[in-house]
Structures are given as structure tokens and as C-alpha cells.
Structure 1
Amino acid sequence: MIEPVLTIVVPCYNEEDVLPDTISQLSQLIKALTGDQLISNRSKILFVDDGSKDRTWELIYKESLRNDYVRGLKLSRNAGHQNALLAGLFTAKDSSDCLVSIDADLQDDIEVIREFIHKYNEGNEIVYGVRQRRDSDTFFKRSTAEGFYKLMQKMGADLIYNHADFRLMSKRAVQELAGFKEVNLFLRGIVPLLGFQSNVVYYDRKERQAGETKYPLKKMLAFAFDGITSLSVTPIRFVLLIGMVSFFMSVLFGCYFLMLKFLGETQTGWTSLITSIWLIGGLQLIAIGLIGEYVGKIYKESKHRPKFIVDIDTFTIPISRHHLIGQTEEDEIYTMERRKFSESN
């Protein structure tokens, strides 16, 4: 059996605290998988710097000078986790047989990647890493996350329950993914739409060892809302349903009050009038706001702006490699290469 070329894609944003350990663990994993003849010795780890403001890129770049497994991709600005992940996948797809995406904090169990490879060799084009339990999460996070997956499934989105972005995709699957041209790509919902043979591997998620989470409550809510509006038109249909129900209720109440007027039992009331105005006005504002979200997405799509812009690429563009270099020479190479890329761009 021919060993597949594997590329592990790791999006990074301000991850200088966890990167040294992440690089060490993933490098040891690649070496072990190569030694067991599960993957080719041309396999790599591609770290994507998503516009970090700390030393993340410097650590990635210097490591790529001395570690043959490590490559780096630097985006010109912060494009967001999903776009950074796409940048890595699309950059590495032509040189890889299969690609694994994983977050830099390594809360996802990297030993599961071995099982990913076995599933891939069995003919699966996509292998999903699925959490067995959420015991490490707070009650609020666990309940909201599970509620989100259930809500999306009821809306018709084909999401894998308790799956995030820890998955293996074949070269063919990533090439087909590149055919989705919309700006608002919600990968957890788009990947199942590819329809290729797939499988799941269950694992236990670990605690974050260092640094801070890049998904506080505000970002989690924005991410969830973006996923809902990117994959489903059910919310806007729900608003239409509310509008129709409100209209028919208004007709019924209108007939009722008209009957009371003919019977001479009506009483003029300011409260009922104001309540009706506020109720209908609130429904209208909700409907307009929701429609505005979809119009805003259409606006973004019509511009055809790139999802990301690459500043420096050490995966496809060769760099000067010096083994057994000292710290001072390493700093000089980093500065020289950085200047060369700046001038070429």
C-alpha cells in the first residue's frame, strides 16, 4: 500500500503560549506515523497565522527553518478562523493526499489522527472527529452547544452532532470544497453537503493547557448566528409564518370587535390600542432586521472579495533552510527572509 501524504492544517491566532508544545507534539506524531508506515515521509504540518499580534508568526517561521515537518502560511490580516482554515486547506491540497484540520490548543486528541488515517485507507473521503461527552464544559456552554446542534438539524442543516472542525478530508473532497464560492462558508454545515463516503471517530476533548480561548460568548453567538443564516432560510420563513398568523388573528379580532360595536358593548381603550401598535411594530422590526441579515449576506457575496490574502507562504515557496544554526543566525535568516518576501510582494 502506498503511504498517503498527510498535511495537518493548524489555524493560529495569538497562540505563542501554546505553540512550542503544539509543534513538539505534532512533530512527534508525524514522525511516529511515518515510522509505522501509515503516512509518507513527505507529510507536513502547516501552521496558518491568522493575523496574530503576538510572536506567533515568528515562532512558526523560525521553527520552519530547523524542522522539516513544519511549514507556515501568514495571512495579511485577521480573516477569521474559518477563512484561515480554508487558506491552509487550499494551499496544501495540491501537495497532499489527505488533510487534517485541528486547533492550535490541541484540546482535540491528536492520537485520534491515527484512526483517521485508518478510516481514510478504508475508502472514506471525510472522517469527522466527534466528542463523546462534554463533561469539561460549563453547564451553560454544554446546553447552548447541544441546543445549537439540535436547532440546526430541525432547520434542515446536515450537521454532525458534537463535531467542530477536527476532521480529515481527502484531496478530492478539498478540491470540491474549493468549488463553493460563497463568502459566508460555515464549514461544519458545508462539508457534509459534499456527500462523499464518510465516517466518524469518537474522542474525549482535553482541557486547554495554556493561553486563552479565542471563542468567548460574544464570538460564539456570532458564529452560531452566522451558521444559521448561512445554511438555512428557515428563520425568514418563520417570520413569514408569524406575520401570517398575526394577520389572521387581527382579522378575527377585528370581526369580534366589529360585532361588539353593533351590539353596543364596546368601550374605547387607550391601552389596547397602544399594545396593538407596539406588538405589530415589534414584529415588523424583527422581520425587517432578519431580512436585513440576508440582504447583507447577498451584499457581501456580490462583491466577490477574496476570503483571505496570503502575506508569506513557506509551504509552496521555498525558503532558505539552515540546519544546526545558532539563535543569532536564526534571527538574521528570519529578518532577511521577511525582507525578501516584503520586497517581492
Structure 2
Amino acid sequence: MSFLSNYYLPPEWEPHLAVWLAWPYDKISFGSLNEKDNKIDPERLPKVEAVFLDILKALTTSEQVNLIVRNKTKYQNIPEGVRIYEADYADVWTRDYMPLFVKDKQGHLTAVKWNYDAYGEQFVELLKDNKVWPQVNQELKIKTVEPGILLEGGSIEQNGSGTILTTEQCLLKRNPKISKADYEDIFGKYLGVTKVIWLKEGLTNDHTDGHIDEIAKFVAPNKIVCAYEDDPSDENYRILDENYRVLKNAVDNKGKPFEVVKLPMPHMCYHNGEKAPVSYANFFIGNKVVLVPAYNDPNDAKALETIQSCFPDRKAISIDCSEIIYGGGAIHCMTQQVPAA
């Protein structure tokens, strides 16, 4: 019997009670450095804030948005209906530092709060985000359990039926003393998981050490969209081709195979001369919309069309993430859903 008996981790497409986001405020966090003179670019953060407002507006049409800010009195242009929570935080990546929310068949919620160390302490200024949930939960008082290991929400992807995807690169680096078998036991105890599909690694130059939410995502219990690179000379080709082959040959916890849909990669995204670790797989499934990142890239339209075809009952909306990616993530990284009862 699991530690959270009869609880499970719902898939993203199940109805949400709410979704958590945090307002972007820090110029340095968003990599607002002008490469020519190594100074802060004063124009980037306002652009990021404008896109962030577009995200809020798109989500508030069909679900409750919980927004974390540093000062409740500062923000006057937030869409009506957004609930504001004040906290001392560093960055916007709620997917990684907020809890995963599990529920039982009666709809009772429990927050599973993992430890967060800012991606192996690469960014010490972000360590304070490990304390955001205790701050906002003083008001909410949601039952919370702590497994006591490091884990970011963007490093696992669930189908809601007991199977998750992850990468060896991220999980085995984050907790070097924890084996794959140990992880599978922990996921069983806290998330109701009975099958883990391990991919080897994530995108080139990914500071998260290979988060799954940039390379593969469930869109139905037995259907996965998978970032894929067609150009054999591209530095991500080998990685993504191997991931695709693993998924094509994988089965779920009931022995059923998956339909795997190829999702094109953007090619125009570079930062400081290096390929940025971004993909179209970093989309968010809302109650009635699917927010799909765009990068001013020729493949934007094809990616939007592919994702829309996976969700005939939702509207796929393109969100320009060409400025947001300087912070190291996109839409899925900025959101953490709370399942409805």
C-alpha cells in the first residue's frame, strides 16, 4: 500500500481547480544582458511582463489563476478574478518549486512538496523559492507531505493512469545516492505511480539537466508528443531520435503501447551564441485552452497545428516566448496546476 493510499497524480488535461504562476520582476533572472556591451537590456523585462499578461488573460477565461507577487499593492493591471498571494520569491518557475498536487477518488487534495535546490545550486539566488509554498500555504492550509528528496516538477510527466516519463540525466544527477529503483519506490508511495519510463537525456545546453517537459509530454493516457529533430547534423538529433525510439518501444503499466507524435523543433533560438534549450513540448494544457510557445521560428505554425490536433475540445493559443526563454524556460515551466475535486 502506498504512503498516500488511494491517491494519484492527475494528468494535466483533467479539470483544474486553479493554476499557480509568479509575476516576473527580475531583469537578471531573465538574462536581460545585452551581448554587445554585457549590460542589462532595459527593454526585455517589460516585453516579458507584457507576454505574461497575455498568459494570464488566456488562462482566466476558463480557470482560477493564483498569482504570486512580492507586493500586493504594486500590480494594478492584473486581469479581474486573479487571486493574489504575497511571498518572498526569486523567479517564476512555479512548475519546479511548487508542490505536485495529488488527490484521491473522493477529490481530497494533498500537496507533495519536494526539496528544491535551484538546479543543483547553479543559481544560489533562487534557493529562496524552496520556501514559497510554506508562505502561501499559511493561508490555504492544504495538507502537505515532504518526501525529503530533490525533485523539480518539470522533471516528470504523468499520464494519470500510473505511468510517468522522466530522464536519467536529471534525476540521477540531482540525487546521486538514489537509484532508479529507489525513485520508482518513492513515486509509488507518493504519486501512485507503478511504471516509470526512463529516457536518457534532455536537450543540449539545458541548465535543468534534462527536464522531460522540454522533450516529451502526454496528451492522453497512451498518446505522447515527442520533440524531434529531422536534421542529422543538429546537435539535438541523436538525443531526440533516441528518445523517440525508446517511447515507440515502451509500454505503460498495463502493457499497452503508446502512440508517439513527432513535434518539430525550433531552429532560430540562440543565446550567447549557443543553441537555447527550448522546444514546443513546453506547452500548458488548461481547462479550455492549450498555451503553446512560439519563438518567431518557421516551425511555430506546424507545432501549433500538431498540438491543436491532439486537443479537438480545446483551443490551442500561440504565445510568443522569444523573450521569456532568456530566463531559461517557457509556459509549462511557469505554471503548476491544482487538480479539481
Larger Rg: 1
The verdict on a shared fold, with TM-score over 0.5 as the criterion, is: no
Which has a greater percent of helix? 1
TM-score w.r.t. length of structure 2:
0.28
